């Protein structure tokens, strides 16, 4: 009796369960075949960009790593500092340039560059300055690597991912924002720390805007396969909604705490971005909460990028998980979308 090489087809005539689990992103295109060395470019050699670059190197995610920054001395210094560690790292060619020549032929371009907020400057004015910066960066990156995937890390990430999508003219499945991937990691850590379990055994997502209007999906939290809220109710363990809100607030405030203490965040976002790079370039098809085009999902009608749990792989966004939201969670997500859309409406894109 001949055995099937896999269980991808189940039942008489096959059973396509994927259609029930994932929804496609509008106007997606399949990935282009690639047999050449894997190349990642990082635009912006600040604290975040270099944390990402360092993590990519130590995790052996690229054959070629290209760095771009407007400051030539700092850029060369960072490149040399990394090159001098060659004896302790997997073999990776490290390039740098103040223009975008070194990024040509990239598989993944990670954008961390962004203007810093001037004391007394409004958030909207900062966004306008970052849009102006993106108008120089994104078309140049897209021209050098027309088949690449874009991963936007610069803040406000949801708005700038939308801007990158418009400027690059890429299909939306190849333009991704780091979104709430790190927020969700913080969320999982806090729950795991409270329960004294490994964070990898906790499934929990923060979705929506990467910011104050984000939404904690309490209804879908599971620990070792156990539905958390259902378990509490079954065991007749009382919990206050305010307690849950405090945990969510701790997630939102955690970045501010790190910034107040050390002046910036770097290592956690470095690991977060490297995790996304690994999933994308190695076609791991893992689920990550990242900023994607949310139009048509959960009652959202506008062209807005928000974080939702999605399956990522070599083609970028392969599908958006059909996660169940309570009516309250769905309403909060739509309000989060309105918050981002209000900002977008004031941009000239």
44 is annotated as contributing to ligand binding: yes
Strand 108-111, strand 149-152: pairing: parallel
Q: Binding residue per annotation — 173?
A: no
Query: Is 128 among the annotated ligand-binding positions?
Result: no
Neighbour-count burial for 22-58, b at 16+ CB within 10 Å, e otherwise: beebeebeebeeeeeebbbbbbbbbbbbbbbbbbbbe
Tokens describing residue 284: 């791991």
DSSP 291-323: EEE-TTSTT--S--EEEEEEEEETTEEEEEE--
Active site annotation includes 210: yes
- Distance (Å, whole) CA 168 – CA 154: 16
Any known ligand binding at 130?
A: yes
Is 66 annotated as contributing to ligand binding?
no
Q: 210, 248, 298, 324: which one is catalytic?
A: 210
46 is in an annotated binding site: yes
CA atoms within 13 A on the CB side of 188: 20
Consult the annotation and say whether 49 binds a ligand.
yes
Q: In whole angstroms, give the CA distance from residue 113 to residue 324.
A: 35
Q: 158: closest CA among 180, 135, 140, 132?
A: 180
Do residues 83 and 64 make contact, with C-beta atoms less than 8 angstroms apart?
no
197 is in an annotated binding site: no
Report whether 125 belongs to an annotated binding site.
no
How many whole angstroms separate alpha carbon 46 and alpha carbon 141? 18
**Which segments are annotated as binding site?**
44-49, 69, 130, 153-155
Active site residues: 210
**Which segments are annotated as binding site for NAD(+)?**
44-49, 69, 130, 153-155
């Amino acid at each position: 009796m001949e055995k099937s090489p896999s269980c991808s087809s189940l039942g008489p005539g096959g059973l396509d369960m994927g259609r029930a689990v994932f929804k496609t992103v509008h106007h997606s295109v399949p990935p282009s075949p690639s047999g050449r060395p894997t190349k990642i470019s990082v635009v912006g050699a600040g604290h975040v960009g270099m944390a990402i670059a360092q993590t990519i190197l130590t995790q052996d995610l690229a054959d070629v790593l290209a760095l771009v920054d407007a400051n030539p001395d700092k850029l060369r210094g960072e490149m040399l500092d990394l090159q001098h560690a060659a004896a302790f790292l997997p073999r990776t060619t490290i390039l740098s340039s103040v223009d975008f020549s070194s990024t040509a032929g990239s598989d993944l371009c990670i954008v961390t560059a962004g203007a810093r907020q001037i004391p007394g400057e409004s958030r909207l004015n900062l966004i306008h300055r970052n849009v102006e910066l993106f108008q120089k960066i994104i078309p140049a990156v897209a021209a050098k690597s027309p088949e690449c995937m874009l991963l936007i890390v610069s803040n406000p990430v949801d708005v700038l991912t939308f801007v990158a999508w418009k400027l690059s003219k890429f299909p939306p499945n190849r333009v991704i924002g780091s979104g709430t991937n790190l927020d969700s990691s913080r969320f999982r850590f806090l729950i795991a720390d409270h329960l004294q379990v490994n964070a990898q055994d906790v499934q929990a997502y923060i979705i929506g805007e990467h910011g104050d209007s984000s939404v904690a999906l309490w209804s879908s939290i599971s620990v070792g396969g156990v539905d958390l809220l259902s378990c509490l109710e079954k065991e007749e363990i009382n919990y206050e909604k305010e307690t849950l809100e405090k945990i969510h607030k701790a997630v939102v405030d955690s970045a501010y705490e790190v910034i107040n203490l050390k002046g910036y965040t770097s290592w956690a976002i470095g690991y977060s971005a490297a995790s996304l790079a690994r999933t994308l370039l190695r076609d791991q098809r893992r689920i990550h909460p990242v900023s994607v085009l949310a139009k048509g999902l959960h009652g959202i009608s506008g062209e807005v990028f928000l974080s939702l749990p999605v399956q990522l792989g070599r083609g970028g966004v392969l599908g958006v998980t059909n996660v169940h939201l309570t009516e309250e969670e769905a309403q909060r997500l739509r309000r989060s979308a309105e918050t981002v859309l209000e900002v977008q409406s004031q941009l000239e894109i």
